[in-house]
Amino acid sequence: MSKDHDDFDFEPVRGLPQVLPKGERMLWQGAPRWQDLAVHAFHARKAIWYFAALALAQAAYRFTQGQSLAEAVSPFQWMMVMGLILAGMLTGLAYLSARTTVYTVTSKRLVMRIGMALPVTINLPFSQIDGASLRLFANGSGDIPLKVTAKERVAYLLLWPHARPFHVSHPQPCLRCIANADQVAGLVAAALAGTATPALSEAAAPGRQTATQQPVAA
C-alpha cells in the first residue's frame, strides 16, 4: 500500500461530503489532538491510576495479613502491566479517532466527519445551534461543546467521543481536544454571529481542494 494512500480520497473537499454551495466560505478546519483525546476522552491515564490503586490496595491487605513486603507487592507487577496494556489500547483508539475526524466551520454551518469504522458526516446549520461554550486545558487545547435546539437532537452514542461528557439526555456535539481552543471558540462565536473571517486551516492532502481553492459556505 502506498504511504500516500488516503481512505477519504472520495471526498470532493476534505472533510465534506460534497462541494459547498456558491457563496459559502470555509472559515476553519481541524481535528482533535490525539494525545489530549487519549487523556480527556479515552481516559488512558486514569486506566493506569486505576490499576495502580488496585495493586496498592491488594499489597496493603496482604501486608496486614502477615505476608512479607516482597510477597505483598508481587501482584503489583502484573497489575501494572495490565494497566499499561489497557492504556496503550485506549491511546491507539484515540489516535485512530483523531486521524479519521475532521471538523469544519463554514460561514453557515458546522460539519463533523467522525467515525473510525463507519464514518458519518453530521451537518449542523447555525440555525440549529443555540450557542457554544469552551473548556480549556492546561496546554491550551480544549473542548468546544455546541448547544443544539431541542428538536435537533443527535444520539449520544452516534456522537461519542465527539460529545460533551455526561450530557446524555440532551447530547451536545463537541469539538474535542482542539489546539488553540480559545482562538477557535472565538471564531465559532463570530461565525454564529455572522461576523467571522477565514482563519488558519489544516493542510489538505495533495490533489484535494482546499479552502483557498474552493469557497466553502453554509
Given this model, what pLDDT does residue 216 score?
A: 31
Task: Report cis status (omega within 30 of 0) of the bond before 75.
Answer: no
Q: Which residue has the higher pLDDT, 1 or 196?
A: 196
Per residue in 34-85, pLDDT tens? 999 999 999 999 999 999 888 888 888 877 877 777 777 777 778 888 899 9
Per residue in 83-128, pLDDT tens? 999 999 999 999 999 999 999 999 999 999 999 888 899 999 999 9
| Of 4-13, 18-27, 139-148, the least confident | 4-13
> Rounded to two decimals, what is the model's pTM?
0.80
C-alpha grid cell, residue 191: 461565525
Q: How far apart are CA 157 and CA 71, in angstroms?
A: 44
Given this model, what pLDDT does residue 198 score?
A: 64
Q: How far apart are CA 59 and CA 68, in angstroms?
A: 10
The count of residues in the chain is: 218
Q: How far apart are CA 29 and CA 105, in angstroms?
A: 6
Given this model, what pLDDT does residue 211 score?
A: 36
**Nearest-10 Cα torsion for 145, 151, 157, 161:** -10
Given this model, what pLDDT does residue 195 score?
A: 67
Q: How far apart are CA 102 and CA 26, in angstroms?
A: 13
The C-alpha angle with vertex 171 and arms to 169 and 176, in degrees rounded to 5, equals 145
Q: How far apart are CA 174 and CA 131, in angstroms?
A: 12
Q: How far apart are CA 69 and CA 192, in angstroms?
A: 61
pLDDT band at 4 (very low <50, low <70, confident <90, very high): very low
Strand partners, 103: 30, 112
What is the average per-residue pLDDT within 123-138?
93
Per residue in 9-30, pLDDT tens? 556 778 888 888 888 899 999 9
Could you tell me which of 134, 138, 97 has the C-alpha nearest to residue 118?
A: 97
Q: How far apart are CA 73 and CA 75, in angstroms?
A: 6
Per residue in 151-197, pLDDT tens? 777 889 889 999 999 998 889 999 999 999 999 999 999 999 876 66
Whether the predicted pLDDT of 5 surpasses 80: no
Q: Which helix (H) or strand (E) holds 46?
A: helix 44-64
Could you tell me which of 106, 101, 103 has the C-alpha nearest to residue 25?
A: 106
Given this model, what pLDDT does residue 29 score?
A: 94
Q: Which residue has the higher pLDDT, 211 or 196?
A: 196
Number of H helices, E strands in the chain: 6, 8
